[in-house]
Amino acid sequence: MKLFVRTLSCTLGFCLAAAAQPPQQFGKLGDFKLVSGEVIRDCRIGYRTLGTLNADKSNVILYPTWFAGTSAKTADSIASLQQIDLSKYYVIVLDALSNGVSSSPSNSALQPGMKFPRITIEDMVNSQLQLLTLVLGIKHVKAVIGSSMGGMQTFQWMVSHPEFMDKAIPIVGSPRLAPYDLVLWQAELDAIRLDPLWKNGDYTEQPGTAQIAELETLNGTSPANVNHELKRAEVAKSLEDSRKDVAKMDANDRIRQLEAMMNLDVSAPFGGAMEKAAAAVKARVLVIVAAQDHMVTSGPARDFARLLGARVVEMESDCGHDSEDCEPDKVRRAVAEFLGK
């Protein structure tokens, strides 16, 4: 989830110009079976590409979207932060299920609203695997990189499909959410479902937006950052702007992505043993965390990195979950060095 700093960087003109935005594309998967056994009817996965695919398809990097993010916003971020050298690598930005672009409660003709089945992070990853192998003809990639929920998908990728990538870089992600994180995301679910506007998913106005804006303002960065960025007289307007931003994502889409994050546990197929999940990983891994992350706390990612013997890069700014925006040079150098090895 990207909050204050992402908005600021776009305002200052660092985002891709509209003419340079890579086109939205879709891969059709037909009826896609979920790990629960349920099926998404007429499933489609959105994606955009950056850079040039080389002849032997050895320069592919997968970049799944963060919570509530789209491939358009993620492509902007990749370009503005310059985390990946697009003269070397071909980046496939993947729209996660239930983001309003790929198959979602808000755009499904056959399973609209809460008729859309519950999904998991593993379902997101498996749908992306089908897109790559069956639609795009890609059988192996250089790396998987993702931020926030994209980092969660990156952890899932490395455990579920260990032979598919050479390297993996989860950024402010988690292999299994900590209790603090679960409380935050439960509060967002409650903000939607307890709002009289929700009407069991049959709403005409987006529910829960004010409460979610407040929760994400409190947790997106840190108290020091909020107090530095906002004056007392600006708080009401800032929250209203944030509320409008929250309302851009359909509430039922948000519910399904929230549920997916909350149920994430890469160790589930191994009886809950993270040691066994880590032993399944074949990729080389770089884990990037934020010291003051209040949205996806860094403990589980650090612990998993320790099991992997992976290097951990810690961002130390008071930007919290959005620290990669505040420390782009540190992240850029770490990513470039790791990909170049």
pLDDT of residue 107: 98
pLDDT of residue 67: 98
Tell me: the pLDDT tens digits for 169-216?
999 999 999 999 999 999 999 999 999 999 999 999 999 999 999 999
pTM: 0.94
* C-alpha distances in Å from residue 88, one per residue of 51, 91, 141, 340: 8, 10, 13, 10
Which residue, chain included where needed, has tokens 């192996």? 140
Quote the CA–CA distance of 94 and 127 in Å, as a whole number: 10
* C-alpha distances in Å from residue 134, one per residue of 27, 71, 137, 171: 9, 20, 6, 28
Q: Which candidate, 72, 93, 98, places its Cα nearest to that of 144?
A: 93
Sign of CA dihedral 258, 319, 177, 95: positive
pLDDT of residue 8: 34
pLDDT of residue 2: 52
- Residue 176 is encoded by which pair of tokens? 């299994």
Q: List the helix and strand counts (H, then E) for the chain.
A: 13, 8
* C-alpha distances in Å from residue 299, one per residue of 81, 132, 156, 187, 198: 25, 31, 17, 21, 34
Quote the CA–CA distance of 266 and 274 in Å, as a whole number: 8
Tell me: the pLDDT tens digits for 103-154?
999 999 999 999 999 999 999 999 999 999 999 999 999 999 999 999 999 9
What 3-state class would DSSP assign to 119? coil
| Helix or strand (DSSP H, E) at 160 | helix 149-160
Tell me: the pLDDT tens digits for 271-302?
999 999 999 999 999 999 999 999 999 999 99
Quote the CA–CA distance of 94 and 154 in Å, as a whole number: 12
Sheet strands side by side (includes 311-315): 25-33, 39-50, 90-94, 60-64, 141-147, 165-171, 284-290, 311-315
Quote the CA–CA distance of 269 and 221 in Å, as a whole number: 33
Structural domains of the chain ordered from first start = 4-340 (3.40.50.1820)
pLDDT band at 341 (very low <50, low <70, confident <90, very high): confident
Quote the CA–CA distance of 153 and 234 in Å, as a whole number: 36
Quote the CA–CA distance of 113 and 256 in Å, as a whole number: 10
| Mean pLDDT, rounded, for 7-30 | 63
**Is the pLDDT reported for residue 11 higher than 70?**
no
**Is the pLDDT reported for residue 3 higher than 60?**
no
Give the angle 17-91-313 at the CA atoms, nearest 5°: 100
